[in-house]
Amino acid sequence: MLPISRSRSLLRLPLPLALCAALFAAGTAGAGPALPDPDDPRLTPSQRLDALVERVKSEQRRIETLEAEFVQERASEFLARPETARGKLFYARPDRVRWEYLEPNPISLVIEADEMTTWYRDLGRAERVRVGRVSSQVFRYLDATGSLETLMDYFAVTLSNPEPGEPWRLSLEPRYPRIAKRLAGITLWIDRERYLPVRVRYVEPNGDSTEYRFTALSANVPIPDERFRLALPQGVPVKVLDLTSGRVTAH
């Protein structure tokens, strides 16, 4: 699910990227009963967690599109200092996502259905990954009935009571060894007023971490279809990786 290091496989990108977008993902909310308030002092810790999940799910169902600015920071034992990147995120239900990296390296990454296209603008080349069934696993987190609730099937969740005005913090630890092989843990910070994620951190088994901080969130604003298309200039070489067959071709 980044940074989009040029030495890293794109196969590793969808999970954190999709999970980030997933926590904003959407459906159509109906007029239901009043939702519980996670701040209610009468709630037990378990009830408070359930209340928060219900509020997040409710906000997910309301969102059809989303724009946000983000800062991504990656720390690794192989880096002298953390790498920082900045850009914009665009999401449109059900499965269109664009990560536009503005600095330090201009990179455009578009995910739609079963295909990811990454354009390394400064290098003058692009990569297209056809993920097939992998995409279904990636975007299950983008479904209105999934995301945080789905994560709780695979992770044990601990809710930390925040200081007044601070975001809710959820710590997720893998329940199963197959998950722990890929992720040692996830931490989510949920805005107390909008019930949307404003910060997400992923820690890999080797201790490397990637963190996203989201600002300037705008939900349900018009996003033109062209935003989710990459018009590559003529002559830009494109490497195509088909994960369904294992073939790599160049165009």
Domain range for 235 is: 10-159+217-250
Question: Is 205 inside any structural domain?
Answer: no
Mean pLDDT in residue range 196-204? 91
Percent of the chain with pLDDT over 70: 76
Q: What pLDDT shows up at residue 124?
A: 92
Question: Is 73 inside any structural domain?
Answer: yes
Q: What pLDDT shows up at residue 136?
A: 47
Question: Is 96 inside any structural domain?
Answer: yes
Mean pLDDT in residue range 233-248? 76
Model confidence at 211: pLDDT above 90: yes
Between 29-38, 116-125, 231-240, the lowest mean confidence (pLDDT) is in 29-38
Question: Is 167 inside any structural domain?
Answer: no
Can you give the CATH number for the domain in which 103 is found?
2.50.20
Question: Is 4 inside any structural domain?
Answer: no
Tokens 């080349």 sit on residue = 125
| Contact residues for 97 (Cβ-Cβ < 8 A; gap 6+) | 17, 18, 21, 89, 90, 91, 110, 111, 112, 142, 228
Angle, CA 177 vertex, CA 150 and CA 133 arms, to 5° = 55
Question: Is 3 inside any structural domain?
Answer: no
Question: Is 191 inside any structural domain?
Answer: no
Q: What pLDDT shows up at residue 6?
A: 35
Using pLDDT thresholds of 50, 70 and 90, give the confidence band for residue 144.
very low
What does the radius of gyration of the chain's CA atoms come to, in whole angstroms?
A: 18
Q: What pLDDT shows up at residue 131?
A: 65
Model confidence at 145: pLDDT above 90: no
Model confidence at 8: pLDDT above 50: no
Q: What pLDDT shows up at residue 22?
A: 55
Q: What pLDDT shows up at residue 126?
A: 94
Task: Give the count of domains, the chain.
Answer: 1
Q: What pLDDT shows up at residue 248?
A: 54
